[in-house]
Amino acid sequence: AQSVTQLGSHVSVSEGALVLLRCNYSSSVPPYLFWYVQYPNQGLQLLLKYTSAATLVKGINGFEAEFKKSETSFHLTKPSAHMSDAAEYFCAVKSGGYQKVTFGTGTKLQVIP
């Protein structure tokens, strides 16, 4: 079985401040982990993915995430928030032979000018 927990359904940061979106996963086998971003009325866009190579993964738009097996976490960070980062972010897990991706409930990021 696989699952994802995103802590905080809404996060607000000031423009230029650090962005930290939390994700914890559960998987019985080594997982693939993903972060997707969804802008209003648009589909999901892949930000980055972890596939058992480097534990620190860099993605698009300055985002990165670190896989920590001991903490079963895959938190998303960005050093300096931009207004255009306001969107909903989904963490997701895919385990071993399972093809279905299990998504978290999402975190809406608000960037305050």
Partner 1 sequence: GAGVSQTPSNKVTEKGKYVELRCDPISGHTALYWYRQSLGQGPEFLIYFQGTGAADDSGLPNDRFFAVRPEGSVSTLKIQRTERGDSAVYLCASSSNRADTQYFGPGTRLTVL
Q: Interface with partner 1 by CB under 8 A: which residues?
A: 4, 32, 34, 36, 42-46, 49, 51, 90, 92, 99-106
17 vs 88 by CB, closer to partner 1: 88
Nearest distance from C-beta of residue 99 to partner 1, angstroms:
5
43 vs 113 by CB, closer to partner 1: 43
Nearest distance from C-beta of residue 97 to partner 1, angstroms:
8
Looking at the DSSP bridge assignments, the partners of residue 50 are: 33
73 vs 102 by CB, closer to partner 1: 102
Which residues are CB-contacts of 3 (< 8 A; sequence separation ≥ 6)? 25, 26, 27, 93, 102
**CA–CA distance, 68 with 61 (Å, rounded to integer):** 22
In the chain, count of helices (H) and strands (E)? 0, 11
